[in-house]
Every structure is written in C-alpha cells, then in structure tokens.
Amino acid sequence: MSELQNRWYNVVLKNLTTSPSLTQLIQPAPPLEPSDTALWARENTVPPASLTFNRQMVESAFFFDEYATVIQALSVPESTLVTVIGSGVHQDWLKYLKGLTPQPDEDRLPDVFYAWAMTYHPEVANEGVSALRDIVRLRVLQRLLRSYQGPPPRPAEYLGGSRELLSMLSNSRSATISFDSATTSGDVSGTWTRGVNKDFSGLWAGADRLDATTTRFARSVVTVEAELGGYVVWPVNPDPRWYDSSQLHEAYTKHSSPPWAANPQTHWDMAFGEKSGRLQRAIASLLVVERLTSVVTSDAAFPPEDQQVIKAKAAAGLWPFFVPTGDGVTNKADFDGGKLRLTTTAPAGKPLVIGAHVLPTARYLGGSSAIPGERDLC
C-alpha cells in the first residue's frame, strides 16, 4: 500500500500543481461543519513529518497549545530596564509610579514612563521606553494566553471563517486528478520528508494498510478519475489577537536567557528540537475541495467474501479521499466479474480538507532555511 500511496501523492502534486517541498495529504476528509470553529480546528494543528497525515491514526498537537507553552516559558526581566536606564533612575521611576493614584493599567506603563522620563531623565527616555515595552508586551501576551486556556477554554481564532471559505470555493476553478498506478512514479525521495510516508489507511478508512484485501487492491493496476468542482488553497493565519510572530521568532532564534526564562519548564529543545520538539512545523495553508466525484477502478479479481467486506466498509470512506457517507456524501462499491469500481460523491457547500502546505518553523517564521546546526527537514 505504501507504493500506491506514494504514487497517488505524486499525481496529486502534478494535477493540482503543488510543491513536493511542502505538500501533505490529509485523511480522512469528512465534510467541514458550517462553523468558524470547525475550520479553525483544522488549522490549529502541528502536522507530523509524513507525506500523509491520518487524523484518525496520529494524535497531533494543537498549534495554539505549543505556541502558548513557548510564550509562557519566556521572560524579559525587570533587570533589562535597569541595565538600560541605570539603577538610580529605576529607583526614581518606581517611587514615582508608586505615588500614582489610581495606578495605571500595565499596558499603559510605557506611555506613563516616557512622559515621566522626558521630564526628569530625557537622556534615557527612548531606550527605557523600548525596554519597558518589551517587558509589558510579553506580560500582557502571557496573561491573554492564560485566559484562552480557561476555565472555560476558548477556541483559538484564525483569520477568515467558514463563510469566506465557501465563497472562495463557489468562485474557484475546478480541477481534475487523473491517476494510473501503472504509469505513475512512486519515487518520493525528493519531497520535504525525504520519502517518509506513514500512518495512512488501507482501502477504507480505518483499514490496516497490510490488510489482505487492501494488499490485493494495492498490488493491482489502480486508476482514479477525480473531478473537483471547486478547489482552493486556503491560507492559514493565526489571529494576531493571540499570535505574536515576533515573540515566537525571538524564542526560536535564541536558545539562551533571555528571552527564555532562567529555569523554564519548557526549554528550546522541547519546543523546536529535531528529535522531540513539539513545534517543529506548522500549517501554512489547507487544500480544500467541494463537489467531488471520484471513480476508482482496480483490475484485481476480488473473491465474494472480499466484495462483501468492501461493500460493508464503504460507508466509512474509501481510498483515496476517505470521505465518510452522510451529510450528502455517497460511497458505492460495485463489482464486475470481481473487478472493483468505487464511486464517491460529495455535494456543493460541503468543504473537504484533502491536504495542507506544511512549513518547518524556520520558514514559517520568515526564514529561508533552518538555523545553524539544524537539518532542513520539516
């Protein structure tokens, strides 16, 4: 099944004109619920290093949770301000601040400091307000992220929502994926995972890829004609109300304290390290389709008992899209002389997420390559 899945991956890249340096296929592909939170949940994922991401087999981390963990491990100590303005001026500032009634909100402290410093210590006003802004910005962000984590927890918002996605799909171009396993290469060594493609289903959703029926299917000549009535590349952008790319960039490019706290519960390797880092990559965009018609054929002759199993399992979703039956979706398995024909249809207005563009953290944060000492593998 691995060879067939690799061949399918290559033909998707070719037909949808997408890059092997960042594309990942996603299975299964149930229709998205018509809500912003359902769409955001698909975006809020740290994908695995595999050309296929099976959401039923692999428990992935949430991007928001890993991002928040990193931000909470950072610190810009008060000593940063002291170093910039001097201990004497710092004592004068604290004395002035203590005497204010009412006490200013934390996010107003830089403005209050600047007005005070321009009056009494103008020589350090600009450097001091810059340092204080860094301190306050991180504290405010950390407090905001804690509010998202609850109780009760709040969904992490992303820019754009269900209505905008449906509008894009209704105005998008159609696409066709034509596949013949006999003529399509299975070489995926030049992809972003250097050939790693794992944790995918067999012939139906949940089927073991080494299952005997799946193996019979995978070893046959398989063809696919898939008509995508709508196809869009949907950009994934965390809402700037909670996402601060500059703070994450600072954490990623520096291993020491600051910006990391002196004794953080999470350190750099736990977040970004090649062996066990939980935030090594992120989703830059989703590949979304609607109005799907997929016809799959196999030249293998399936015995009656296999035919019964395939028909019984078809509702779970069939290779290669694995769209479960229901909500307007149909899956049908027919046989002619034991030879298989699978038909899957999905209606308009029911978006299916079939893939994603995945970036390593360095590129996601705007870098062209990994930092020194890190491999360039997503």
pLDDT one-digit tens code per residue, 7-63? 999 999 999 999 999 999 999 999 999 999 999 999 999 999 999 999 999 999 999
The separation between CA 269 and the C-alpha centre of its own chain, rounded to angstroms, equals 20
Q: Is the model's pLDDT at 82 over the cut of 80?
A: yes
Q: Is the pLDDT of residue 374 over 80?
A: no
In this structure, the number of other CB atoms found within 10 A of the CB of residue 372 comes to 5
Exposed, middle or buried by CB within 10 Å (0-12, 13-18, 19+), for 133? middle
CA R_g for the chain: 26
Sorted by sequence, the CB contacts under 8 Å of residue 212 that are 6+ apart come out as none
Alpha-carbon span 29 to 102, nearest angstrom:
55
Query: What is the per-residue pLDDT across 157-183, written as a single tens digit (0 to 9) for each?
Result: 999 999 999 999 999 999 999 999 999
Residue with tokens 């063809």: 223
- pLDDT, tens digit, 9 for 90 and up, residues 208-243: 999 999 999 999 999 999 999 999 999 999 999 999
**327 phi and psi, to 5 degrees?**
60, 40
pLDDT digits (tens, 9 = 90+) for 98-150: 999 999 999 999 999 999 999 999 999 999 999 999 999 999 999 999 999 88
Q: How far apart are CA 223 and CA 220, in angstroms?
A: 10
Report pLDDT for 254: 93
The first and second tokens of residue 326, run together, are 């229901």
Instruction: Give the β-pairing of 339-345 and 330-336.
Output: antiparallel
Answer yes or no: is pLDDT of 91 > 70.
yes
Mean pLDDT of the chain: 95
Which tokens belong to 311? 């028909």
Nearest CA among 8, 53, 5, 6 for reference residue 226? 8
3 state SS of 232: strand
pLDDT at 279 over 70: yes
Q: What is the model's pTM? A: 0.92
Q: What is the per-residue pLDDT for 367? A: 66
The strand pair at 330-336 and 175-180 is best described as unpaired
Per-residue burial over 8-37, b = 16 or more CB atoms within 10 Å of its CB, e = otherwise: bbbbbbebbebebebbbbbbbbbbbeeebe
Please name which of 255, 297, 294, 293 lies closest in space to residue 272, comparing C-alpha atoms.
Answer: 255
> Of 236, 191, 252, 221, whose CA–CA distance to 377 is shortest?
191
Structure tokens at 53: 């991401």
Q: Tokens for 12?
A: 């998707």
